[in-house]
Amino acid sequence: MQKKELLYEGKAKKVYKTEDPEVYIVSYKDDATAFNGLKKGTIVGKGVVNNEMSNFMFRMLEKEGIPTHYIEELNERETAVKKVTIVPLEVIIRNVAAGSLSKRLGLPEGTALKCPVLEFSYKNDELGDPMVNDYHILAMDLATREELDQIAQMSFKINQLMVDFFKSVKVDLIDFKIEFGKTSDGQIILADEISPDTCRFWDSDTHEKLDKDRFRRDMGGVEEAYEEMMRRLGLRK
């Protein structure tokens, strides 16, 4: 599998075309951003962690019947994935109040929610990825009713599978963001990544943060937190 032209460069990844029109290569960077790109920095080794953890999670979810864009890990930073057209929505699932939800609703951080909360954001950096509901999405033709229902159903299943899995390694899954893409034949599949960049992970006993909040909030120990998550998954000794 050979990288051809650079198709896209985002805040955390580069995407390349390959000799196969239905296959792309994703290359993970160490660049770190927060607050829609207002804060920038570097987390050394982040690209390796996010690539390897995402692939680990995608393989696990595939076994549970969740279709993903994952094809093959090429090296520690690069992965071959199925070509998809990304549905321009960030799908956020929240199990415990934290971050923007705490601010918006006045809920103390760490408040357990009575049921998982699903939120959608419109993927648009210039607008700051504003929160949207089903009616906005349908009115703007970002997805059909059937696609939205499918995305919601898959997202809740992914949440339950991940909550149970992370609990087994003494990590609480507070919330996370995922994205979906459409293949050439119209199938909706899980894409993007699952990593400490896109999830809030707290140690089940100490509630220590093991994710990008350490970068966002200048808490220090960012690289160590990412490596600790890799150890919990058995991907590091």
Task: Give tens-digit pLDDT for 152-188.
Answer: 999 999 999 999 999 999 999 999 999 999 999 999 9
Q: Please give the pLDDT value at position 35.
A: 87
CATH number, span 6-82? 3.30.200.20
**For the segment 134-154, what is each residue's pLDDT rounded down to a tens digit?**
999 999 999 999 999 999 999
Q: Provide the pLDDT for residue 222.
A: 95
pLDDT band at 36 (very low <50, low <70, confident <90, very high): confident
Each domain of the chain, given as residue ranges in start order, spans 6-82, 85-221
Structure tokens at 18: 């390959």
Please say whether the structural domain 85-221 has been given the CATH code 3.30.43.10: no
Q: Give pLDDT, residue 105.
A: 97
